[in-house]
A and B are shown apart, each in its own frame.
Chain A
Amino acid sequence: MKIQNSLKLFRNLLFALIIICPVIFSSCYTDYTLETDNYDVVGSFYNPDYNFNNVNDYYLIDSVIHRDGGTITTDYDNTILSTTIANLNALGWRRVTDSTGSGVVVVGTFVTSTTYVVNTGSGCWYDYWGYSWCYPYYGNTYDYSTGTVGVAISDLRNSSASNLPIEWIGVGNGLIGQGGNTTSRITTSINQAFAQSPYLKKP
């Protein structure tokens, strides 16, 4: 009798384990509902094989590249260029007008935008026994656009006919048209990209 009870208990527990398994492996992420201004993100990335100590001068492409085909306003182009110049000069770089000289890198700036569509629509999944578990449509479909401001450093000596490798890139990404002073957000992002790249500083 005891063995039968034990086996019954074991079967029930095994059944419970199988039921729980989908819960165990499901993702569980708190939604921190980051505010609009909180969406401003700055990333900087470098080529680990490139020695920034070998270059001291920069040639700046004096127009901002609009990678979205021209739908983004050019109102902030001067802010992007002047902030980039200020940061490079502060780090000890020297601006030159000839991109082909020795120890010269080419600096380009760009803007682009991306639209995201989020749809938490209804759907169903099926459990081990073939029951379908359906969740309703919560009406949470929404879209948002982010803009990216970027500064890139390239070295023409490493370029090929079809390829201009980027040795360093700093990007600021944030929501477009919602909250905050745009000029200030752009300036802050570019400043931060350089600030978190100490290897760019000249002795």
Chain B
Amino acid sequence: MNKIKLFALTVFLTVFIFSDSYSQNMTGKGAYLASLEYNATFNMGQASDYLSTPGFWGGSMEIKSFVQKNISFGILIGNNVISEEQENGSTEVKNGTITGPQARFINYAPVMATVGYFFNKGKSKTVPYIQANIGSYYVQQRLQVGANIIDNDNWHFGIGPQVGVLFNVGQNVAIVLDARYNYAFSSGEPIGNTDNNSYSFINANIGLAYTQ
């Protein structure tokens, strides 16, 4: 707990005390912004029914190009890994049930095009933004029951609205905090006893952004 407080204090000091420049040009026309973020993943809906444990292994990378002041187009890629072990789990499958010690996995790999709007008035070190992501998710779902493995890997069309904030810490560097809702439309055959193979999940992200 003390380490978490120390980390939070460090971030606070970095953002609000040692910051020495405004973000006038950070989102100006012709600028680029690249960010590398750590992702925590929380399944929702049907995906949560299969695997409710949050995932703390994940990362994403974004490149944004500002074609107009405060308006960006970009690319987002990432990988989020979630898994859990159930000592005596039971999984409903098509026309049946499988019971036993089992491990459940989902890997999400988004490849998205992004368009964002930044609320940057030029005098603030803090720049909120909203973003719409559209593209595809490569979803790798696995059910391992004992020595038996069932894989369900598919590409899904997907969308992902995102809200976030940039904290300009100077030297073209910003800390970025954002949350992203992800919806991967149904594709392929599901493992479970359902006809719908869609996934939804939320990412809570923190990272560093570099602007040019």
- Is A28 an interface residue, CB under 8 A from the partner? yes
B65 and A10 contact, CB distance less than 8 A: yes
Write the chain A residue with the least CB distance to B211: A9
> Is B95 within 8 A of A39, CB to CB?
no
State how many residues of chain B have any CB contact under 8 Å with chain A: 41
* CB contact under 8 A between A29 and B105, given known A17-B61, A23-B79, A38-B87: yes
Cα A46 to Cα B146 in complex, Å, equals 21
Interface residues of A: mostly helix, strand, loop or mixed? mixed
Nearest-CB distance from A90 to chain B (Å)? 18
From B34, B97, B105, contact of A44 by CB (8 A): B97
Q: Residues of B at under 8 Å CB distance from A?
A: 30-32, 34, 57, 61, 63, 65, 75, 77-79, 81, 83, 85, 87, 90, 93, 95-103, 105, 107, 109, 111, 138, 140, 142, 144-148, 210, 212
A38 to B100 CA separation, bound complex (whole angstroms): 7
| Complex interface bits, A1-35 against B, C-beta within 8 A gives 1, otherwise 0 | 01101100110011011001101110111101010
> Beyond A9-B32, A9-B34, is A29–B100 a contact (Cβ under 8 Å)?
no
In the complex, the answer to whether B95 meets A42 with C-beta atoms within 8 Å is no
Min C-beta distance of B137 to chain A, whole Å: 11
Given the complex of chains A and B, what is the CA–CA distance between A196 and B193 in angstroms?
15
Give me 30 A-to-B residue pairs in the complex whose CB atoms sit less than 8 angstroms apart, sorted by A's number: A2-B30, A5-B212, A6-B31, A6-B32, A9-B32, A9-B212, A10-B65, A13-B32, A16-B61, A17-B63, A20-B61, A21-B77, A23-B79, A24-B111, A24-B138, A25-B138, A27-B107, A29-B144, A30-B83, A34-B103, A39-B147, A41-B147, A42-B98, A43-B98, A44-B96, A146-B147, A173-B148, A174-B146, A175-B147, A196-B99
Checking A20, A21, A32, A197 against B103 with a beta-carbon cut-off of 8 angstroms, the contacting residue is A32
Q: How far is the CB of B98 from chain A (nearest CB, A)?
A: 5
- Which A residues are within 8 Å of any B CB, using their own CB? 2-3, 5-6, 9-10, 13-14, 16-17, 20-21, 23-25, 27-30, 32, 34, 38-48, 116, 144, 146, 173-175, 192, 196-197
B79 and A24 contact, CB distance less than 8 A: yes
CB atoms of B61 and A41 under 8 A apart: no
Q: A6-B32, A10-B63, A17-B75 are in contact. List 8 more A-B contacts (CB 8 A).
A: A9-B210, A21-B77, A28-B107, A41-B99, A43-B98, A116-B147, A196-B97, A196-B99
Closest to A34 in B: B101
Given the complex, which residues of B lie within 8 Å of A197, measured CB to CB? 97
